[in-house]
Amino acid sequence: MAAASDKTNKYYIDLDRSALVQNYGPLPVALERGERIYVWDCEGTKYIDCLAGYGACNQGHVHPKILKAMIDQATKLCQPSRYWHNMTLGPFGKYITELLGYDRFIAKNGGCEADEAACLLARRWGYRSKGIKDNEAVILFPTGNFWGRSITASGACDDVSRYHQFGPFDDKGF
């Protein structure tokens, strides 16, 4: 094991390359900590994180109000399954549906899961509201899209690196 002083960006990059699947092309730095829009690598270099995190967690790093809310919540309940009701999801559902003018909303963990749900809901709507015959619903996706690494998202993409040798998928037109 390398000494703490030997743990450079190169050390962590080499470790990642030897132990992890290479399905991303990260920048050549190993982050150690973050604060709001800033991050520092293990060698002490400061950067602006223009992604502010990533995906479902793009609120930046260690923002005091978000951190306090996380700690307060973690002392009560972590992430209960949807097999239970809880004291926060219903009130949030009421707030967001009134704000947006919708009847209901569906809670999801992140983008890919939300997009998968949108595909399911679109097909269900087509069958129930538009009278589409069973197993004939088609979802069209724009070219150049990327919305995740699930089977549905990969099959809906026209980037060969995202779908080659991951099939079979539904028809390319979904």
Q: What is the CATH number of the domain that holds 59?
A: 3.90.1150.10
The total of structural domains in the chain comes to 2
Separation of alpha carbons 44 and 46, rounded Å: 6
pLDDT in tens, the chain (174 residues): 556 567 999 999 999 999 998 877 889 999 999 998 899 999 999 999 988 766 667 788 888 999 999 899 899 988 788 888 888 889 999 999 999 999 999 988 777 888 999 999 999 999 999 999 999 998 999 999 888 888 888 888 888 888 888 888 765 544
Q: Are residues 16 and 61 in the same domain?
A: yes
Q: 42, 13 in Cβ contact below 8 A?
A: no
Q: Are residues 65 and 123 in the same domain?
A: no
Q: 126, 136 in Cβ contact below 8 A?
A: no
Residue 67: inside a domain, yes or no?
Answer: yes
Q: Are residues 10 and 62 in the same domain?
A: yes
3-state secondary structure of 68: helix
**Last residue of a domain, which of 45, 74, 103?**
74
Task: For residue 132, give the amino acid letter.
Answer: I
| pLDDT of res. 174 | 46
pTM (predicted TM-score): 0.65
Q: Which residues pair with 46 in a beta bridge?
A: 40
The domain in which residue 138 lies consists of: 111-163
